Chain A
């Protein structure tokens, strides 16, 4: 098996964009090539596009050839689309990694994109009614998932004493981390008081506990180690291991109603650590799926950064902040950058690439091993990737 390196990455401006899906694929691709001018579009022999709502919101299927065409890429080994809702981007990276590792392709670009804002806003939550079990959850108005995560928060607060202030502290930290991220949607810090007094969406979740709806795209290029050495003059960043798993789709089948425990993430995390030959203690920086503040609190527990139930104190004591045990969501996370489903996992991979190269906007000094995590759907699937400055 060959080693796989990340050699370029870039994203467009995320937010409410006056641009089509195809425009954003071009913007993200351009940003990626600008990150590493040594690589040309003609060097790419494998191409993956990640997008969830392309049929729904752009009325476009068979997206990969269209995306490759608009970036001047003519892949000969792979040209396909992947979709796993919120984890779509990291799924593309996992597939690209496997293709390169096995020798089926040498240099693969993964572009993730999501166009969600429509001329009339009602269409966004309506389209999201296809993201949980369409026939049995979405018919209950379950699409965009605040009620599900409010339930997680209610249970976590009752079982472990987690507080609304601790939820708000996740938002304050991640907004602060994203303040100087020029591609992010929010780019605005908030105080604890502002977070605590923002309007209620679903109790106990307030507006600042929820990531926004986002248009955006991101692109990343992976290569086999041999090619990577020729195609970049920056420090090499390796994909050390990954894992992905699911145990349910519909709400009725989620852990007998105990939603504050995410067994699938714990199992998938352990699997990824095993593949990467590291333990949670080895992780210097992590980008976890903070779609809601409560998500990050549960994630640091299930990923083994702290004990189960101690995710609230973990953020309160600054352990997930710069200078803490594991800085989490160093570029602002979903809460600050926004969350275009296809783009998010790629954005996380790009931030880890910068952190391990040592050229991040907000740098974790000396970071050598980084982790990304996405959840998707009704907390149905979990995806973890571990990156390192070396393989040992």
Chain B
């Protein structure tokens, strides 16, 4: 649109805001850039949360949280191939699998670069981290006012 041409609108951005200025779970994205899938664990009651929590443990409400690594390899417990109606920005088929991360966590995740039938129940999958659109923000003149972003999904191991 003419008045917003060249402007960044977070309301039209499907990726999460990243960077210390914008989210209290910024370590998740920093760790992801190093190829690590991490989340928060409560040091008081031991509850592992996903998604990671920026403020408190939802179980006991403690603020005493630590970042822990999750397995980056898992097993597909179920696989779906979406053949029609895939949202803009995603490939068709859009593949999802219920991924068992070594018994630590079960994630319903996208499977990247997966043609019809290529992934089956019982197959191994591994974490894949990929860059997504950078996030511009209003900053001081001369400052680097763009945050480089990443996100993750899984692919056949």
Q: A: which residues have CB within 8 A of B? A: 122, 125-126, 128-129, 133-144, 146-148, 150-151, 154-155, 199-203, 207, 250-254, 256-257
B91: nearest residue on chain A (CB-CB)? A141
Chain B residues within an 8 Å CB radius of A207: 84
Considering the complex, which residues of chain B in the window 59-94 have a beta carbon less than 8 Å from any beta carbon of chain A? 77-78, 80-90, 94
Given known contacts A126-B14, A126-B87, A126-B88, A142 and B108 CB-to-CB distance under 8 angstroms: yes
The CA-CA distance from A126 to B85 in the complex, in Å, is 10
- SS class, residues of chain B in contact with chain A: strand
Considering the complex, which residues of chain B in the window 18-42 have a beta carbon less than 8 Å from any beta carbon of chain A? none
A130: shortest Cβ distance to chain B, in Å? Answer: 9
A-B contact pairs, 15 of them (CB 8 A): A122-B88, A125-B85, A125-B86, A129-B14, A141-B90, A141-B94, A144-B85, A146-B80, A147-B94, A150-B80, A155-B78, A199-B84, A202-B81, A207-B84, A256-B106
Given known contacts A154-B78, A250-B51, A139 and B151 CB-to-CB distance under 8 angstroms: yes
A152: shortest Cβ distance to chain B, in Å? Answer: 10
- SS class, residues of chain A in contact with chain B: helix
B51: shortest Cβ distance to chain A, in Å? Answer: 5
Chain B residues within an 8 Å CB radius of A139: 14-16, 151
B117: shortest Cβ distance to chain A, in Å? Answer: 10
Q: Does B56 contact A (CB under 8 A)?
A: no
Q: Does B109 contact A (CB under 8 A)?
A: yes
- Whether A128 pairs with B87 at a CB distance below 8 angstroms is yes
Q: Does B110 contact A (CB under 8 A)?
A: yes
B132: nearest residue on chain A (CB-CB)? A139
The CA-CA distance from A135 to B50 in the complex, in Å, is 12
Chain B residues within an 8 Å CB radius of A254: 108
- Whether A125 pairs with B51 at a CB distance below 8 angstroms is no
Q: Could you tell me how many residues of chain B have their Cβ less than 8 Å away from some Cβ of chain A?
A: 30
- Whether B86 pairs with A252 at a CB distance below 8 angstroms is no
- Whether A129 pairs with B51 at a CB distance below 8 angstroms is no
The CA-CA distance from A142 to B108 in the complex, in Å, is 10
Q: Does B155 contact A (CB under 8 A)?
A: no
Chain A residues within an 8 Å CB radius of B88: 122, 125-126
Chain B residues within an 8 Å CB radius of A126: 14, 87-88
Which single member of A129, A135, A154 contacts B87 (CB below 8 Å)? A129
The CA-CA distance from A141 to B86 in the complex, in Å, is 8
- Whether A140 pairs with B85 at a CB distance below 8 angstroms is no
- Whether A140 pairs with B109 at a CB distance below 8 angstroms is yes
A141: nearest residue on chain B (CB-CB)? B90
Considering the complex, which residues of chain B in the window 95-114 have a beta carbon less than 8 Å from any beta carbon of chain A? 96, 98, 100, 105-110
Which single member of A148, A203, A252 contacts B106 (CB below 8 Å)? A252
